[in-house]
Amino acid sequence: MRVFVTGSAGFIGYHLCEHLLAEGAEVIGLDAHDDYYDPALKEAREVRLRASPRFTAIRARLEAPEVLADLFGRHRPDMVVHLAAQAGVRHSIDNPRAYLQSNIIGTFELLEAARAHPPKHLLLASTSSVYGANKDMPYRETDKVDAQMSFYAASKKSTEAIAHSYAHLFGLPVTMFRFFTVYGPWGRPDMAPWLFTSAILAGQPIKVFNHGDMRRDFTYVTDLVRAIRLLMDAVPGDTPTGPEDSLSPVAPHRVVNIGNGAPVELGDFIAAIEAATGREAIRNMLPMQPGDVPATWADTTLLRRLTGYTPQTQVQDGVAAYVDWFRSYYG
């Protein structure tokens, strides 16, 4: 199997490529190594992937015209997993143009390349942030999602709609993932696990927003990657699998939540880091940040129906593994 993975030097992309290589797949990985966060971390991930002779690393930007069309024409991938994106809710308030370029135009270029050279299955990353102002939980893929709270979320919802149009017009089988608060080894430095762990180990205060009244459906990265791999084989067809299926009535297009299915209080997540580091956090309680939401919670019924799999890593175990990696990598 030949798989094209965008964002291959990113947090999730690295773990997915590693998993696919371990299975014996040929992986073509594209990443721009931009400086949104430390490029040295991306390079360290990619070095590990390049140790496999079945991994091809390509340094390029998604949105550059004809780059993806050329790569699809040369490599003819069986499967495409599109993870590359400009991430971060708060950064999208300050720099929305980066999200327009990478998330919307970049995804358009990918869909155009797939239209010219169709893979067996095209899988694209979205986010739980698209649920926005929805109050009913757990979030279901069939919920109406028209009230995004940040430009990041809006850009991802746009890619879901654009991909649907390509699935309808050109028969491209498309699965969209909505990820829920992914964490684990090799995680991004702009995310809460890194920020909390770094500050706690240094004896510095951590910022606790909404005065700690936050819940997140924390999903361990290897659970997420396992779900992606199984969904690669669940190609959307013509018939829904049940009443909870988000399969479009007019296109081979489906949306699937990937989460742990169990929201965790932010205070409990911090306590897990304290236990793993053996140090107590100094909490700086702050109000809610613009664009953020107080809680997320994935309904994983559809994921389980399609794959027979449900993520199961408990926060205490996942955090302990993350802290072990953090200490090893950063000394």
Backbone angles phi, psi at 41, to 5 degrees: -70, -40
Give the H/E segment covering residue 319: helix 315-330
Q: How many CB atoms lie within 10 A of CB 198?
A: 14
List Cβ neighbours of 71 (8 Å cut-off, separation of 6 or more): 4, 28, 30, 58, 60, 113
Bridge partners of 30, per DSSP, are: 6, 58
* Whether the Cβ atoms of residue 279 and residue 202 lie closer than 8 Å to each other: no
Whether 152 is a known active-site residue: answer yes
What would the two tokens of residue 305 be? 């129906």
What would the two tokens of residue 154 be? 């809006």
Amino acid identity, position 260: N
Radius of gyration (C-alpha) of the chain in whole angstroms: 19
Q: How many residues does the chain have?
A: 331
Q: Residues 220, 225, 227, 228: is their CA dihedral positive or negative?
A: positive
Q: How far is the C-alpha of 28 from the C-alpha of 68, rounded, in Å?
A: 12
Residue of 14, 139, 152, 166 marked catalytic: 152
* Whether the Cβ atoms of residue 84 and residue 106 lie closer than 8 Å to each other: yes
Q: Which residues are catalytic?
A: 152
